[in-house]
Amino acid sequence: MADYTPKPEHKFTFGLWTVGNIGRDPFGEPTRDPISPVDIVRMLAEVGAWGVNLHDNDLVPIDATAAERDQIVADFKWAMDETGIVCPMATTNLFADPAFKDGAFTSNDPAVRAYALQKTMRSMDLGAELGAKIYVFWGGREGAECDSAKNPAEGVKRFREAINFLCEYSKDNDYGYRFALEPKPNEPRSDIYFPTVGSMLGFIATLDDSEMVGVNPEVAHEHMAGLNFLHAVAQAWEAGKLFHIDLNDQMFGRYDQDFRFGSMMIKQNFHLVRFLEDVGYDGSRHFDAHAYRSSQYEDVVEFAHGCMRSYLVFKEKAAQFNADGEIQELLAEINADDGRYAYLNSGYSRAAADQLKATEFDRAGMGARNLPYERLDQLTFDVLLGVR
């Protein structure tokens, strides 16, 4: 029996808001008691996680005094030291307070935009104090219901100005942050700006210092938009922009479900984990999910175990897939290359263009070739379901 024990090298992290979720939804009141940040750190250590991530207000209430803040942060750091739990990522809550009801960085109100910047700088100070090196931006309220009220191009511009400003703030303070922007198509807004990973990648290229900014893709967010998450992650990876990842699970086209990783889309998640492991992604594996509303504390602990266990099971299946002789033979057959067109690999030259133009192709032969993807997909299924 394989060992599915989580270890620090797996870099499994949970947000304070994930295992700390109290089961409130738009139709119903909380179903479980809050857990203090210090107790969450202890719980994460017990289940074998590596790190904890947080929004400023997951730890420090928005109306805390400076003295209260310092005490809370000191207690939290003590719990981190005691347990060995690290804090690799921090972020700002720019969505809960009514001040942000029509956006933070993209609000029409200059005072709200300025307050959002100030709140983020303070939260960056906090993250730096806890050792975070990744700073996430999820623009939950940056969007609209009423497109008559806001010019979306203005929204893009305002978001850019904010990120440019905060990049400089990070550098000015030697925080060493890398920013990870997290797209989502909707919820809580009807439409959120920069709805997908591709959209965010396009935006990043327009920043003053695009080097220090990447993405934080989330399974649920691309699935809500009906998109292939693996493809989004692969594009981000190929662009050198996969700075962080939010793992959870979600049916296509539904409300924001935030299910336990591996609980819903098994084949998609398998391919995702195989990709992350094969390319050597070495960032956090962050679970941005929460337990069902029906769970109490002991089942929340099971939820946390489950996220990490599912990842490790997928990882084991990926190794099995990679070591399977029949699968590898099929892949070799599918990717066969006799080197005849290698002259195209170095890009354009007049000689290459002339040679290519003079080539006769067996178009009918190419079309008639059998691609054994049915067999390959069934073998994948058999690996996943443990019958191979």
Q: Give residue 334's identity as a one-letter amino acid code.
A: I
- Measured from the CB of residue 140, what is the shortest distance to ligand GCO in angstroms? 6
The answer to whether 138 contacts ligand GCO (rule: CB under 6 A) is: yes
* 136: partner contacted, choices ligand GCO, Mn ion, none (Cβ within 5-8 A by kind): ligand GCO
Tell me whether residue 55 is one of the annotated catalytic residues: yes
Binding segment toward ligand GCO, per CB under 6 A, in 112-120, 135-143, 167-175, 271-279: 135-143
Q: What is the phi/psi pair of residue 342, to 5°?
A: -60, -25
The smaller minimum CB distance to ligand GCO, of residues 246 and 249, is found at: 246
**Rounded Cα–Cα distance for residues 384 and 367 (Å):** 31
Q: What is the phi/psi pair of residue 296, to 5°?
A: -105, 180
* 130: partner contacted, choices ligand GCO, Mn ion, none (Cβ within 5-8 A by kind): none
Q: Are 293 and 28 in contact (CB under 8 A)?
A: yes
Beta strands in 28-160 (DSSP E): 51-55, 89-91, 134-138, 143-144
Neighbours of 15 (CB within 10 A): 25
The answer to whether 97 contacts ligand GCO (rule: CB under 6 A) is: no
Binding segment toward ligand GCO, per CB under 6 A, in 133-141, 274-282, 298-306, 370-378: 133-141
Peptide bond into 183 cis (omega under 30): no
Q: Which of residues 203-262 bind ligand GCO (CB under 6 A)?
A: 218, 246, 256
The smaller minimum CB distance to ligand GCO, of residues 261 and 321, is found at: 261
- Which residues, including other chains, have CB under 8 Å from residue 241's CB and lie 6 or more apart? 201, 204, 213, 214, 215
The smaller minimum CB distance to ligand GCO, of residues 136 and 144, is found at: 136
Q: Are 225 and 116 in contact (CB under 8 A)?
A: no
**Rounded Cα–Cα distance for residues 208 and 42 (Å):** 40
- Measured from the CB of residue 249, what is the shortest distance to Mn ion in angstroms? 11
- Angular region, 347: left φ>0, alpha ψ -120 to 50, beta rest: left
The smaller minimum CB distance to ligand GCO, of residues 136 and 318, is found at: 136
**Rounded Cα–Cα distance for residues 171 and 321 (Å):** 43
* 222: partner contacted, choices Mn ion, ligand GCO, none (Cβ within 5-8 A by kind): none
Tell me whether residue 33 is one of the annotated catalytic residues: no
The answer to whether 142 contacts Mn ion (rule: CB under 5 A) is: no
**Rounded Cα–Cα distance for residues 8 and 355 (Å):** 54
User: Which of 3, 25, 33, 55 is an active site residue?
Assistant: 55
The smaller minimum CB distance to ligand GCO, of residues 303 and 321, is found at: 303
Count the residues of the shown chain that bind Mn ion, applying the rule CB under 5 A.
Answer: 3
When binding is defined by CB under 5 A, the residue of 246, 311, 318, 321 that contacts Mn ion is: 246
Looking up tokens 């996430």 gives 136
The answer to whether 184 contacts ligand GCO (rule: CB under 6 A) is: yes
Q: Are 103 and 145 in contact (CB under 8 A)?
A: no
- Which residues, including other chains, have CB under 8 Å from residue 119's CB and lie 6 or more apart? 56, 92, 94
When binding is defined by CB under 5 A, the residue of 214, 288, 311, 314 that contacts Mn ion is: 288
When binding is defined by CB under 6 A, the residue of 112, 136, 166, 264 that contacts ligand GCO is: 136
Q: By CB under 6 A, name the binding residues for ligand GCO.
A: 91, 136, 138, 140, 182, 184, 218, 246, 256, 288
Q: Which residues are catalytic?
A: 55, 58
Residues near Mn ion, by CB under 5 A: 218, 246, 288
